[in-house]
Amino acid sequence: MRLLSISMRSGVQPIVETGGSRPRLLITFLLMLLIALPAMGQGGSARAADLFWDKAEPAYLPDTLRMSWAEARAQVIVAQMDDEELLSQILMLGYPGSKAPAELLEWIARRGLGGIKVFGRNAEDSVALAKATAEFQGAALGQELSIPLFVATDQEGGWIRHVKGKSSESPGNMAIGATASTKDAYLTGFYLGRELRALGISMNFAPVLDLATVPESSIIGPRAFSDDPALAARLGIAWARGSMAAGVIPTVKHFPGHGATALDSHGILPKIEIDKSTFLRRELYPFEQAVRAGIPAVMSGHLAFPSISGEEPASLSRGMIEGLLRERLGFKGLVITDDLYMEGALDGAGILETCLKAIRAGNDMLLLSSAPAEDGALWKGLLTALRNDERLRKTVEVAVRRILTLKLAYLRGIDRESLIPDPAEVERLLPDAEGQVFFADLARRSASIIGRQAELPFAPQGLVLIAAPFGEFIALGKERYPTARGFTFSFRPEHEAKPEELEAFKKALSGCAGAIVCVANRAGMQFATLAHERGVDVAIVSVLSPIHAAHSPWSKAAIAVYHYAPACLEAGLDVLAGSLKPSGRVPLADHLIR
């Protein structure tokens, strides 16, 4: 088995080979014996041996055997867990507000928990977030088995940034695709990860390995590195390695690929009608490469591929999880579902039924955006099923062994206190100073011309109107075009501009020689088109998917910057003003953007 190994003590380690299966089984058996003997000597108090944190790991254990050691120890710990502890370990739960709820802390202290999910609603205040994660992790470490939590979030960079507050804004994945640089991908994962670790977050649901197959999608769009499977794989693996170097476990998503649909699995089950050949060479390729590189975790997506696995979502399909991901690709790590309260998973069913399907499909952890009641119907239903279905129980035990193996290999570190953040340090550590410099530089290097050419600098002979859904764009534009006037329009609706705003824009164009339009979606592009139809010279700064500004040969210049972070807006305007030469390349197939 190939393993991308990481120790919290020494940072990133090389990809190594653990050898053939027979020697590895013997090694695992010997390690299990080494681990189990001290516990057996404790008699009835074996649980007091603190098997997660004691120092039984030999100091001389080479990296090639570290995962075997973790697997062996995980098996011994699982044998000591009761039903409630086993079931709790496969759950990752969300919570409301900015504080750690007392009921959830009680749940953790009573029976442990697999993980906590941090959503945007929890993360506006960075200091409050650090206090909450410290409380959650402290409760877990105070529980009898002292098994730490995975504390996870979605910090992809760019458009998707659940942890806001004092964290950095980065240009995002498609900007990395525009530079095609593995170094840029690695450092993005590293700097975002370093900020997360300062907040007590140890797992990131990133990088995205979905492709920009439908680049106008408002679901994936610039969250993808590219529509090219090879480029997406190369950059995604580098991003993941950077995250691991910062001490944060990466989780590639959304297996087996969300890029070929514009539908949102939060509200519907998307059905992707492609044949098996296309699926294997396109959607599956980045995930296959990530598995080969030793990625530790994968998120399963709520997407149906009728020609591949029928009408059910991949996240609930045993053929997709056990058959394709485990058996065909050989993935040995952790599989976690996307939120099971999403309609793409529920599809009219109840949450208990959906959770049981997810377990039986082969997922190791169930993500629930809202924590169920500590002893409510969902918990009781799952616990009853665990106790009455021996096959289900064995499936859960296997899942918990994988969870504990990952926790032992990646979270054990020097001591348990290293997992608890210091809220007093947040002001000093966030935003990451080195990361700020890097992200600003990446924003400038990734700026790209859309189409074949651009007339730069953009310098109309007369009054310029700067139009955008973001006030900051207008303010920054006026710094470069001091005599310009501004016009603000709505970011939403995304597909059709408001008629009254188009009419007001038409009037604002009166007397203007040029217009600079910030385009974030199809509605924004309607303002640029209207300016052209009124005989005004038009320049476009595209801030999300560049596809909306493609096929506009009438524009004097169309520049892609891939995100509306201030550094990206500045880069786009500097290109128009002539103070920055664009060096990025739009990472989409030529026929899509020419």
How confident is the model over 170-217, as pLDDT tens digits?
999 999 999 999 999 999 999 999 999 999 999 999 999 999 999 998
Contact 164, 124 (CB under 8 A): yes
E-assigned strands of 380-460? 448-449
What is the percent of the chain with per-residue pLDDT over 90, rounded to a whole number?
Answer: 83
- Of these residues, 227, 338, 339, 432, which one is catalytic? 338
Listing DSSP states for 224-290 in one string gives SS-S-HHHHHHHHHHHHHHHHHTT-EEEEEEET--TT--S-TTTS--B----HHHHHHTTHHHHHHH
Sorting pLDDT into bands at 50, 70 and 90, what band is 34? low
Element (H, E) at 175: helix 173-179
> Which range has highest mean pLDDT (1-5, 50-54, 331-335)?
331-335
Quote the CA–CA distance of 396 and 385 in Å, as a whole number: 11
Q: What is the DSSP letter of 534?
A: T
Q: What are phi and psi of 389, to 5 degrees?
A: -125, 100
Contact 285, 330 (CB under 8 A): no
Q: Per residue in 435-460, pLDDT tens?
A: 999 999 999 999 999 998 899 999 99
pLDDT at position 592: 80
Average pLDDT value for residue range 413-437: 92
Q: Does position 6 have pLDDT exceeding 50, yes or no?
A: no
- Of these residues, 50, 63, 264, 266, which one is catalytic? 266
- Give pTM, 2 decimals: 0.92
What are the structural domains, with CATH classification, of the chain? 95-109+124-138+153-436 (3.20.20.300), 447-593 (3.40.50.1700)
pLDDT at position 347: 84
pLDDT at position 66: 81
Q: What angle do CA 91, 333, 145 make, to 5 degrees?
A: 45
pLDDT at position 452: 84
List beta partners, residue 365.
336
Quote the CA–CA distance of 363 and 358 in Å, as a whole number: 6
Lowest mean per-residue pLDDT among 44-58, 131-145, 517-531: 44-58
Find out whether the peptide bond into 229 is cis, omega within 30 degrees of 0.
no
Annotated catalytic residue 338: yes
Sorting pLDDT into bands at 50, 70 and 90, what band is 14? very low
Q: Per residue in 228-271, pLDDT tens?
A: 999 999 999 999 999 999 999 999 999 999 998 988 888 889 99
Listing DSSP states for 291-322 in one string gives HHTT--EEEEP--B-HHHH-SS-GGG-HIIII
Sorting pLDDT into bands at 50, 70 and 90, what band is 23? low
pLDDT at position 43: 41
E-assigned strands of 110-163? 115-118, 150-153, 155-157, 160-161
Q: Does position 32 have pLDDT exceeding 90, yes or no?
A: no
Average pLDDT value for residue range 408-423: 88
Sorting pLDDT into bands at 50, 70 and 90, what band is 5? very low
Sorting pLDDT into bands at 50, 70 and 90, what band is 468? very high
Quote the CA–CA distance of 148 and 44 in Å, as a whole number: 24
Q: What is the DSSP letter of 584?
A: B
| Structural tokens at position 167 | 């964290």
Average pLDDT value for residue range 308-313: 93
